[in-house]
Amino acid sequence: MAALAAGVAFSGSGAATLNGDELATISAATRSVAGLWELAQHIDGHFLPYYLFMHVWALAGTSELWLRLPSALAIGAAAGLLVALGRRLHSTRAGVTAAALLAALPSVSYYGAFARPYAFAAAAAVLSFWALHRAQERPDSRRWAAYGATVALVCCTHLFAVLVLPAHLLLVRRETMARMLAALAAGCVPALVLGLIGYGERHAISWIPQRGPDVLLLFPKMAAGATEAGILLIAAALAGAALLATSRENRAAAPPAYAQAGPPRWAGALLGWLVLPPLLLLAVSHLVMPVYVDRYLFVTAPALALLAALAAARAGRGRVPVAVCCALVAASVAAGAYRHVELREENGRYESFPWAVARIQARPGDAIVYGQSQIRAGFDYYGPAYYGLDGYGTVPWPDDVLRLGREPAPTGFGYRERVAVAGALRGRERVWMVWRGAKSAGDRLDRVKAVEDAGYELENSWHSPDLPGLTVALYTRKGG
């Protein structure tokens, strides 16, 4: 099941091109350790553990497939651990169904082929619940230490992955309370450190808009990756929580190697794993600052799959549960199939730099100006060399007239640029502009205004199919 889930995730790695977030991973991972430390002191400090891992990984290359492979492997680990956890809570049938449902989620096709830490966070969350079950099953010091280590791993994968940890508190038992809380507290130390760093760098996420409670209506689509599959599995998950809560099974009735530690307690914990992160993230957004972003909540996807699998595995007697499990997996695959296809298209990550490169039909002497300097990284990665162009052959490439130096700024992902736009464009008749977002977003960009003030007017513009996407625009000199 681990190989199946990893294979599904990795199968989407070669078609969809890298987006801006993944290019930020390349930018961070290809710096020296000292450069990474300097970057972390200004932006993305809470991603430092992931960036350090990718720094080592990127020593072997920065191709799309290689950069996304760790996320696919993390999805495989999550699926394998779901089998083990589902077997502990009910049966091998439940665990295998949970892993199959996870692999069927379109969100897995996205985050499992995405060079960012969200798949790691999901795998770490499953590992922490599995380790907690083991520790409660046989509460010795080594198992509690291992549990604390898995909590620390959750905290190191992504700052907001810690929102699954309050669900652990629903599993506190009187006889193991002291050791569990001690292990949980020790494991949360990295979250405290990274949280303080992240708060100090909160300017980096100032772009996140404030969201109202209505955003929770989109949660099924976010967790599953497709609205239809999300609604189906949310309904099954609620049924699974109800069936687990009313279970009369006890330790004596459980398989010897996987003794159950109170099914009703686990019903609340798994449901908390599913619903607490979006609720808590929305609460933080209103109490501290806006932080509600869908991708921060992929950590709930394994809980959705496991609860739905428990519902199917407990449906009736004899061969009925097997048939129900198979039907649920088949229905999930059918409900999300169209999204799996869309996510494997070139624009599957909603920012197709190759599309933008191909759209630019330059003439000798043309210039190019970027609305946001950091998107230059996409053109460095997919630019003329990607199409076999060298900028001096039969197909010219516009001059990057504002660029100062080849490397990004040491304190961020942008690039040092000339301030005097009009001076840099002197003598140019045509200017190509590229910015992230819709065509209308250019009206709010200082760089677009600077080009217009330098005496240029819009001749034509194009936008990639999905938002945020990229806009390519051609400006020509007025009266030219």
What are the tens digits of pLDDT across the range 150-194?
999 999 999 999 999 999 999 998 999 999 999 999 999 999 999
Measured between alpha carbons, how far is 379 from 235 in angstroms, rounded to an integer? 44
Is 278 inside any structural domain?
A: yes
**pLDDT over 70, % of the chain:** 94
Contact yes or no for 42/34 (Cβ under 8 A): no
CA atoms within 13 A on the CB side of 370: 23
Q: Is the pLDDT of residue 337 over 70?
A: yes
**What is the rounded average pLDDT of the residues 268-289?**
96
Note the pLDDT of residue 254.
Answer: 45
325 shares its domain with 426: no
For 296-333, the pLDDT digits (tens) are 999 999 999 999 999 999 887 778 889 999 999 999 99
380 shares its domain with 447: yes
369 shares its domain with 430: yes
Candidate from 100-104, 245-249, 471-475 with smallest mean pLDDT: 245-249
**What is the rounded average pLDDT of the residues 248-271?**
61
337 shares its domain with 357: no
Q: Which of 320, 343, 366 corresponds to the end of one domain?
A: 343
Peptide bond into 263 cis (omega under 30): no
**What is the rounded average pLDDT of the residues 199-207?**
90
Is 461 inside any structural domain?
A: yes
Contact yes or no for 367/429 (Cβ under 8 A): no
Note the pLDDT of residue 261.
Answer: 45
Is 243 inside any structural domain?
A: yes
Note the pLDDT of residue 147.
Answer: 98
Is 348 inside any structural domain?
A: no
The contacts of residue 436 (CB under 8 Å, 6+ apart) are: 20, 351, 371, 372, 375, 468, 469, 470, 471
Note the pLDDT of residue 395.
Answer: 63
Q: Is the pLDDT of residue 218 over 80?
A: yes
Is the sign of the CA dihedral 142, 147, 151, 157 positive or negative?
A: positive
Note the pLDDT of residue 393.
Answer: 47
52 shares its domain with 77: yes
Q: Is the pLDDT of residue 195 over 50?
A: yes
Candidate from 95-99, 303-307, 348-352 with smallest mean pLDDT: 348-352
95 shares its domain with 211: yes
Q: Is the pLDDT of residue 15 over 90?
A: no
Chain center to CA of 160: 11
Tell me which DSSP letter residue 208 carries: P
311 shares its domain with 400: no
User: How many residues does this entry show for the chain?
Assistant: 480
Q: Which of 296, 316, 343 corresponds to the end of one domain?
A: 343
Note the pLDDT of residue 262.
Answer: 55
Query: Rounded to 5 degrees, what are φ and ψ at 282?
Result: -65, -40
281 shares its domain with 338: yes
**What integer best gives the mean pLDDT of the chain?**
91
167 shares its domain with 26: yes
**pLDDT over 90, % of the chain:** 82
Q: Which helix (H) or strand (E) holds 89?
A: helix 64-89
Res. 392 pLDDT band, cuts 50 70 90: very low
Q: Is the pLDDT of residue 28 over 80?
A: yes
CA 457 vs CA 7, 299, 371, 433: distances in Å: 49, 46, 15, 11
Note the pLDDT of residue 397.
Answer: 85
In the numeric block, the tokens 């940890």 are attached to: 165
Q: Is the pLDDT of residue 468 over 90?
A: no
**What is the rounded average pLDDT of the residues 143-149?**
97
- Amino acid letter, 438: A
Note the pLDDT of residue 323.
Answer: 94
189 shares its domain with 326: yes
Note the pLDDT of residue 298.
Answer: 97
Q: Is the pLDDT of residue 2 over 50?
A: yes
Q: Which of 297, 316, 343 corresponds to the end of one domain?
A: 343
For 400-453, the pLDDT digits (tens) are 999 999 899 999 999 999 999 999 999 999 999 999 999 998 889 999 999 999
230 shares its domain with 360: no
Name the residue with higher pLDDT: 110 or 253: 110
In the numeric block, the tokens 């499990």 are attached to: 325
374 shares its domain with 295: no
Contact yes or no for 285/291 (Cβ under 8 A): yes
Contact yes or no for 413/374 (Cβ under 8 A): yes
**What is the rounded average pLDDT of the residues 275-289?**
96
Is 136 inside any structural domain?
A: yes
Is the sign of the CA dihedral 216, 119, 107, 29 positive or negative?
A: positive
Domain hosting residue 458, numbered range? 353-477
Total structural domains in the chain?
Answer: 2
Q: Is the pLDDT of residue 119 over 70?
A: yes
Contact yes or no for 78/71 (Cβ under 8 A): no
Note the pLDDT of residue 385.
Answer: 60
**What is the rounded average pLDDT of the residues 352-362?**
90
Measured between alpha carbons, how far is 164 from 275 in angstroms, rounded to an integer? 9
